[in-house]
Amino acid sequence: MKKVRNIIIIAIIITAVAIAGFLAVKFMGNGEAEYVFATEKTYGTLAEMYLDNLIDSVSPDGSVAVSPKEKILITVVAYSKAQVTVRVGTKRYEAKPADSETEGYTAFTVKVAMPKTREEIESVGTISVTAICGESSMQLSGAAVYPAEEMTATTEAQSTTTLSAGNYVPDLPDDAYEYTTLPVTGNQTAPTTTPHIQNDFTGNQMCIVTKSFADTWPLIAGDDTYVPYYTPLINGTLDYVTAASEAYNEDDNEMVYFYELSSGRKVKRDSVQLIPQQNLASNNVSVVSSAGYGGALTIKFKTDWKVPYAFTYGPQNYYSAMGKKYHVTGFTANYLQLTFYHTTSASGNVDVSGSDVISGAQWNVSGNTATLTMPLRFAGQYYGYSVEYDQNGYFSFTIHNKPATLRGSVILLDPGHGGNDPGALGLGGGVYESNVNYALAYYTKLALEAKGATVYMTRGGDSTVELEERKAMVRSLKPDLFVSIHCNGSTDKSKIGTSVYYYKPFSYKLASSIYNQLLSEFKNNLYYGQSNLYDSLADGTAYYPFSVARLEDCPSVLVETGYITNDSECMKLIDAGNQQKLANAIANGIEQSLI
């Protein structure tokens, strides 16, 4: 049995290496293997084979356009025991291995800042890599570096349509990398941040939100855990600062600094700007207009100043832990509430006749808050809201409607990572998660379009898109659904399976529907007949505050299709046939969530 297991392990290793296209393996009758290159050179051990070919690939390759001071990620797939150095111009850098323990290829990475001037960039030339292990050494060139404005049209076109990777590039048609510009349907403020020192609050001050949307937290000392029922504040919101506090984040091993607000929550200091206290009069809020379109409802409010607000729904059942609420097993609310703080009067009726979501609206003023309560027409049927200050300065609040069918709906797909962020690495660094994510998203797009949906993607090809940019796309496009597609990763390389994550309770149904379809695909196709593994495959529909899931505008989930860090599962994930099956499962899950 041990001998058979050894043969299986060797087979997995050889399969991973063979995707580079240079190795064939002959198994002998005694269970041993000899390693044969295309040149028919035979090696007695794996170590000998790697020592003769220390470097497998360098990325980026070809030509790369860079701007002064721009940082680029250089990845070298090389023998895990080697010492790898990267030369950029006259400077040398030591690259760090992703896995130095395993015998085989792994990814060595180094992030390099480009020179400060165009003239210095011109002298960089070609990136050069050297690998040394014992008496063996090897050199390989990477990309030729040019100033961005001097790249030829041909090179620019190649840089936007070619995915850089270790050994693996998805076999997709050329038009799969074309980026369709997303239509802009609302005015959104670009994300900004303002750095603040630890002790800059001196009392008698207010703050103004400078970020597009600033997350908020409960007033719990020493705690920075996200909770799904706290409302982010829009750019321009004003509030009184009552204290400065901090919390230690164990994941990032750093302190997180907050301002505490008189509206009963706290906000990160780098999301706001302190201003002198203005002693503003109590606010008055009034309904300027309300109109339904396509079942959605937009209400415009006039306020005396940009007061803080909160949006909640209930009754909602949560799983509670450590004094806060997180997980759900469904969306159970039957009413919505919009609350304005520092407000002593409210007026105006809301016309809900054009809304498929809410059946009425009633004001209630108590102390310094005014709350608009809106019963749902159908319990549990709510699809998100959008908020902004319009060109007239009105607080514009839109409650979205659930699409009746997939046909005619608008969906935004998000291939996770990309560009200078490859994500998790598979097969010793030969497979970038970002490339697998793109292939899965592309096939999901095709499957959804075949069902009649209009589909957009957050990136085209191997481009860098920041998390806040992805969220800004949602807030601008206002899609019916947002799905971020990923592969999972773990330091435990034996882990397998699939999971889907949600944050907001109204996103649970979408997450659960996609998960059920993916799990069925894993059991019935990818792991057909391996019922002993079925429990390991089920990572579940799970709660987690991923940035791209922390959205108010529509059901938003993050899909983990499988573990790229498990060699066997990675091989399944890079198979085009499996990618199409998983994409169909995601599309079917999206469709099921609308029923």
Of 567, 301, 290, 522, nearest to 424 by C-alpha is: 567
Residue 384 in any domain: the answer is no
Beta bridge partners of 303: 285
* Cα gap 520→500, rounded to integer Å: 13
Where is pLDDT greater, at 282 or 140? 282
Which helix H or strand E contains 570, and what residues bound it? helix 567-573
User: Which region among 23-27, 38-42, 413-417 has the lowest average model confidence (pLDDT)?
Assistant: 23-27
Query: What's the pLDDT tens digit per position in 453-467?
Result: 999 999 988 889 999
Contact 482, 525 (CB under 8 A): no
* Cα gap 219→230, rounded to integer Å: 11
pLDDT given for residue 343 in this prediction: 98
Which helix H or strand E contains 540, and what residues bound it? strand 538-543
Q: Is 593 helix (H, G, I), strand (E, B) or coil?
A: helix
Query: The domain containing residue 28 runs over which residues?
Result: 2-44
* Cα gap 126→136, rounded to integer Å: 23
Identify whether residues 417 and 526 lie together within a single domain: yes
pLDDT given for residue 45 in this prediction: 59
Q: Is 204 helix (H, G, I), strand (E, B) or coil?
A: coil
First to last CA, the chain: 49
**Average pLDDT estimate for 165-187:** 74
The count of domains in the chain is 4
Query: Which residue, of 226, 252, 276, is where some domain finishes?
Result: 276
Identify whether residues 33 and 69 lie together within a single domain: no
* Cα gap 362→375, rounded to integer Å: 9
CB within 8 Å of 522: residues ≥ 6 apart: 497, 498, 537, 562
Residue 312: pLDDT above 90?
Answer: yes
Contact 23, 36 (CB under 8 A): yes
Which helix H or strand E contains 426, and what residues bound it? strand 425-426
DSSP state of 171: -
Residue 388 in any domain: the answer is no
CATH number at residue 223: 2.30.30
Residue 546: pLDDT above 60?
Answer: yes
Residue ranges of E strands in 69-160: 71-79, 83-88, 91-94, 96-97, 105-113, 126-133, 136-147
Residue 56 main-chain phi, psi, to 5 deg = -95, -45
Identify whether residues 555 and 513 lie together within a single domain: yes
Query: What's the pLDDT tens digit per position in 472-529?
Result: 999 999 999 999 999 999 999 999 999 999 999 999 999 999 999 999 999 999 999 9
CA dihedral over 59, 576, 589, 480, signed as positive or negative: positive
Residue 312 in any domain: the answer is no
Please compute, for residue 444, the number of CA atoms within 13 A of its CA located in the half-sphere on the CB side.
32
* Cα gap 371→368, rounded to integer Å: 10
CATH number at residue 142: 2.60.40.10
Identify whether residues 80 and 12 lie together within a single domain: no
Residue 15: pLDDT above 80?
Answer: no
What is the token pair recorded at 401?
């409607």
Peptide bond preceding 173 in cis form (omega within 30 of 0): no
CATH number at residue 519: 3.40.630.40
Where is pLDDT greater, at 504 or 42? 504
Query: What's the pLDDT tens digit per position in 569-584?
Result: 999 999 999 999 999 9
Contact 303, 340 (CB under 8 A): yes
Identify whether residues 219 and 91 lie together within a single domain: no
pTM surpassing 0.95?
Answer: no
Identify whether residues 552 and 462 lie together within a single domain: yes
* Cα gap 544→511, rounded to integer Å: 12
pLDDT given for residue 199 in this prediction: 54
Place of tokens 């607080």: 395
Query: What's the pLDDT tens digit per position in 550-565?
Result: 999 999 999 999 999 9
Identify whether residues 417 and 543 lie together within a single domain: yes
Residue 288: pLDDT above 60?
Answer: yes
What is the token pair recorded at 498?
């699939």
CA dihedral over 342, 347, 352, 354, signed as positive or negative: negative
* Cα gap 259→241, rounded to integer Å: 6
Residue 43: pLDDT above 90?
Answer: no
Residue 167 in any domain: the answer is no
Residue 317 in any domain: the answer is no
Identify whether residues 62 and 34 lie together within a single domain: no
Of 336, 323, 425, 348, nearest to 380 by C-alpha is: 336
Query: What's the pLDDT tens digit per position in 369-420?
Result: 999 999 999 999 999 999 999 999 999 999 999 999 999 999 999 999 998 8
Confidence tier at 219 by pLDDT (50, 70, 90)? very high
Identify whether residues 468 and 436 lie together within a single domain: yes
pLDDT given for residue 40 in this prediction: 42
Q: Give the burial string for 507-519 (b: 16+ CB within 10 Å, else e).
A: bbbbbbbbbbbbb
What is the token pair recorded at 409?
């709906």
Of 563, 414, 463, 413, nearest to 164 by C-alpha is: 463
Query: Which residue, of 137, 162, 187, is where some domain finishes?
Result: 162
DSSP state of 531: G
Identify whether residues 515 and 446 lie together within a single domain: yes
Residue 8 in any domain: the answer is yes
pLDDT given for residue 120 in this prediction: 82
Residue 331: pLDDT above 70?
Answer: yes
In what side-by-side order are the strands of the sheet with 91-94? 63-66, 136-147, 126-133, 83-88, 91-94
Identify whether residues 103 and 214 lie together within a single domain: no
Residue 357 in any domain: the answer is no
| Mean pLDDT over each residue of the chain, to the nearest integer | 85
Query: Which residue, of 251, 276, 301, is where some domain finishes?
Result: 276
Query: What's the pLDDT tens digit per position in 407-430?
Result: 999 999 999 999 889 999 999 888
Alpha helices (H) in 371-426, listed in sequence order: none
Q: Treating both helix axes as pointing N-terminal to C-terminal, what angle do 508-521 and 576-593 enclose, rounded to 10 degrees?
A: 140
Residue 499 in any domain: the answer is yes
Identify whether residues 266 and 131 lie together within a single domain: no
Peptide bond preceding 170 in cis form (omega within 30 of 0): no
Radius of gyration, alpha carbons of the chain: 27
Residue 149 carries which side chain, given as an amino acid letter? E
Contact 348, 337 (CB under 8 A): no
